[in-house]
Amino acid sequence: MCAPKWGYMRSVFRTDRVTGRLSVSLVAVVVLIVVSIVHPRNSHAADLAKPGEEIAAAVELVTSGQVQDGYNSFLELAKAGNPHAMYHLGAINHSGILGSEDLGKAVPWYQQAADAGVLEAQFALGSLYYKGKGVQKDLAKALNLFTAAADAGLLAAQYNLAMMHTAGLAHTKDYNADEDRPRAYKWFMVVLARLDPSVDRSPIDSALELLREEMTSIEVANGQKMADAWLVANPGVKK
pLDDT at 38 over 60: no
| pLDDT tens figures, 199-225 | 899 999 999 999 999 899 999 999 999
In a domain, 135, yes or no: yes
In a domain, 207, yes or no: yes
Average pLDDT over residues 148-169: 90
pLDDT at 55 over 70: yes
Average pLDDT over residues 166-190: 79
- Give the least confident one: 49-63, 72-86, 99-113, 197-211: 49-63
The percentage of residues in the chain with a pLDDT greater than 90, rounded to a whole number, is 61
pLDDT score at 175: 55
Q: In which band, very low, low, confident or very high, does the pLDDT at 179 lie, cut at 50, 70 and 90?
A: confident
Beta strands in the chain (DSSP E): 12-16, 21-25
pLDDT at 185 over 80: yes
In a domain, 194, yes or no: yes
For the chain, the average pLDDT equals 78
- Name the β-bridge partners of 24: 13
In a domain, 53, yes or no: yes
pLDDT score at 162: 92
CATH number of the domain within which 215 lies: 1.25.40.10
Output the CA torsion 49→43→75→35 (10° steps): -20
In a domain, 166, yes or no: yes
In a domain, 6, yes or no: no
In a domain, 152, yes or no: yes
Total domains in the fold of the chain: 1
In a domain, 102, yes or no: yes
- Top pLDDT among 178 and 192 is at 192
Tell me the residue range of the domain where 110 lies: 12-233
pLDDT score at 180: 87
What is the three-state SS of 35-76? ECCCCCCCHHHHHHCCCCHHHHHHHHHHHCCCHHHHHHHHHH
Q: Could you tell me which of 66, 77, 71, 76 has the C-alpha nearest to residue 91?
A: 71
Torsion 69-70-71-72 (CA) sign: positive
